[in-house]
Amino acid sequence: MTDAADAAAPDPASMRQQYRTEGLAETDLADTPVEQFARWFKQAATEAHLFEPNAMVVSTADAEGRPSSRTVLLKQFDERGFVFYTNYDSRKARDLAQNPYVCLLFPWHPMGRQVIVTGLARRTGRDETAAYFRTRPHGSQLGAWASAQSSVIDTRDQVDTAYAELAARYPEGAQVPVPPNWGGFRVAPETIEFWQGRENRLHDRLRYVTEADGSWRVERLSP
């Protein structure tokens, strides 16, 4: 029998961390939010050595406004936007077909930082999708075929059996075709917020907002 003390969960209300990092001033920022993101992303990956610094929470909403979130890996970013790949029959893809507005959150907690992106998601072209698909490990290519993402299944065996059949059909070294219902989304940012934790919960929050002419303005948000 499990001991009652062992079974008790920690009290989240008592969990507190004091952020003692340096602040973020307007004069610290790059000219564009993508340049600023590149700076922080490099620090997260090469200085802080965070586990999967390209992991981001993708939040979508369906046509009725009901939200859902999941963690997805960023695979490319530039001035055009932030790119991730998925099954186009997945819940997030179905949401985006009805409501293309999306929010991306990079939770770099060990650094006391977050980056929050809001914008419009559009599908990448098939040539771009195919080029990325060819860079994926062989097993991941097979997995894109084996999983009908977000669909209800009876057992895990269904997925494992489908994968085994695909592995027999396309052994290591064979070219795996790109699934027709799989591809990328590029999120063109409308706002990008850089959140830096500070002491006493008085965090620094600087947000780039796109203007009609394509330029960016920076605004400071109260913590």
- Tell how far CA 64 is from the center of its chain: 23
What is the C-alpha to C-alpha distance for residues 129 and 115, in angstroms, rounded to an integer? 25
Of 62, 78, 95, nearest to 187 by C-alpha is 78
Give, for 167, the enclosing helix (H) or strand (E): helix 156-169
What is the C-alpha to C-alpha distance for residues 154 and 151, in angstroms, rounded to an integer? 10
Please count the other Cβ atoms lying within 10 Å of the Cβ belonging to residue 96: 24
SS3 95: helix
Q: In this structure, are residues 77 and 83 in contact, taking their beta carbons and an 8 Å threshold? A: yes
| Residues belonging to the active site | 201
Q: What DSSP string runs through 20-87?
A: ------GGGS-SSHHHHHHHHHHIIIIIS--SSTTEEEEEEE-TT--EEEEEEE--EEETTEEEEEEE
- Count H helices and E strands in the chain, helices first: 6, 9
Give, for 116, the enclosing helix (H) or strand (E): strand 113-123
